[in-house]
Amino acid sequence: MTAKKTPDTAPKGPALPFTAIPTLPTAWFATDAVEKLGDIGGEFMEFLTERIREDIKTQHAILHCKDAGELRKIQEDFLQTAVNQYSAQAGRMMELANAFLASMMLPRIDD
């Protein structure tokens, strides 16, 4: 008696997105790289929290302002603070991104 053959229904390409992982550099899994990636996420969350805090502070000030001149000053201060914070954050994120990439690509040099 011959065994019945079942049709091959397995997908022909990678079945999971993780099947390509072995082709990635092993540095991707290095502890230092993962820590640097966590630093980027933490820094972003701190920045987001600070910006929301500024938004709430500004809305509170707008709700309690007495005249158009005061409103203009509140809006000026808000915009200036936002520009300063976003500029500083862009530089900080570039530093963190560079540190992350360096942890993945450059070999450690022991002194």
Report whether 92 contacts 43 (CB < 8 A). yes
For the chain, residues with pLDDT lower than 70 are: 1-29, 106-111
39-53 tens-digit pLDDT: 999 999 999 999 999
Predicted local distance difference test score (pLDDT) of residue 26:
56
Predicted local distance difference test score (pLDDT) of residue 102:
84
> What is the Cα–Cα distance from 29 to 36, expressed in whole angstroms?
11
Predicted local distance difference test score (pLDDT) of residue 63:
97
Predicted local distance difference test score (pLDDT) of residue 65:
95
Predicted local distance difference test score (pLDDT) of residue 31:
82
Nearest to 93 by CA among 48, 53, 44: 44
